Amino acid sequence: MPQTLLERTSILDQMGDAWILQQKEFDASTAKSILVVEDDAGIRDTLGEILQEETIHQIFLAQDGESCLKMLQTATPDLFLLDYRLPDTNGLELLDRIRRIKGYEQTPVVLMSASLSRENITRDHLRYLRKPFDLDRLLQMVEEALIPQDQETKLYR
């Protein structure tokens, strides 16, 4: 099994606090990319490190909605982990903007919040993690969200 080295580099200087955590070696056929949008630097960095250490996926980090949208010009995430309360928007508004971008209409999303109503979750058919959350549950939700729809149907029949 190849060793994995972590490297944290800024992908665009003008993005402020937008980062990509890269694995030096990974299996491209199974590795996906995840964009974590979280304004709390401690939570954002912790999520990035845990996902990097516990999964084979490439992790992108953004501090707010604007950084996320800018990052979509150069990155193509297979999953979004969105905080609900962001400084420049909320997670549902950001999700609406993402959904209007060609290619992201069906990209899976996990919304993270301590204060989101059950009505919003049900209405938007969202995967939802209530903060504070169990890290094992987070990892499980990430892997479930990355299962292709056709495989997911077969697994749950």
Give the angle 82-110-132 at the CA atoms, nearest 5°.
80
Q: What HEC string does 50-65 produce?
A: HHHHHCCCEEEEECCH
Where do the structural domains in the chain lie, given as residue ranges? 6-155
pLDDT at 122: 63
CATH fold label, 6-155: Rossmann fold (3.40.50)
Beta-strand ranges (E) seen in 15-68 are 19-23, 33-37, 58-62
Distance separating alpha carbons of residues 88 and 43, to the nearest angstrom = 18
pLDDT at position 14 over 50: no
pLDDT at 153: 38
Stated pTM of the model: 0.78
Mean pLDDT of the chain: 80
pLDDT band at 30 (very low <50, low <70, confident <90, very high): confident
Q: Please check whether residue 71 is in contact with residue 116, taking contact to mean a CB–CB distance below 8 angstroms.
A: no
Using the CB atoms, write b or e for 48-80: b if 16+ within 10 Å. Answer: beebbeebebbbbbbbbbbbbbbbbeebebbbb
* DSSP code at position 103: T
Higher-scoring residue by pLDDT: 29, 157:
29
